[in-house]
Amino acid sequence: MCRSSPSFSRALGGIDCAGRPLESLVVKSAGSFQLAKVDVDAAPEIVQAFRVSRVPAAVALLQGQPLPLFEGAPAEAELGPLIDQLLAAAAQYGITGRLDGAQAPAEPALSAHHAAGLAALEARDFAKAEEEFELALKEEPGNDDIKRGPGPGASHAQSRR
């Protein structure tokens, strides 16, 4: 969390709200953690929620719980070990994955009957759609998308979201 004012950043010794060193660690970590910045002037409710009294500040979210990392400008040499401790704590909870920064995972391909049901809906052939969806449910009884259906006015593309 930081102030947006350039003079405030200069007052912190050019640390730029601790962002640049942390951004460098994000890159070096190859997706072990993610950095989000909050402009405290634009979002004072976040500052209040995390009970931040000085900026820059960093708060990690681990298992959905806030974990204060620092308030005030940390020495750049302290950030690496701090992040290492955070990742070690995450590993204790079984959180060891990496963000790959790539696109969202590809959606699984639709079964032939599911796709045919959607196509029949688009063609407004409701009897055929019902028949195809019933067959699709027999093939994939646990598929909640088929059970739920595409919703009112949904197209083929919308039903897959």
Total-model pTM: 0.49
Determine the Cα–Cα distance for residues 17 and 6; give it in Å rounded to an integer.
Answer: 10
Strands (E), the chain: 57-62, 65-71
pLDDT digits (tens, 9 = 90+) for 87-130: 999 899 888 887 765 334 456 678 899 899 899 998 999 999 99
* 95 secondary structure, DSSP code: -
pLDDT digits (tens, 9 = 90+) for 50-62: 998 988 888 888 8
Determine the Cα–Cα distance for residues 8 and 126; give it in Å rounded to an integer.
Answer: 63
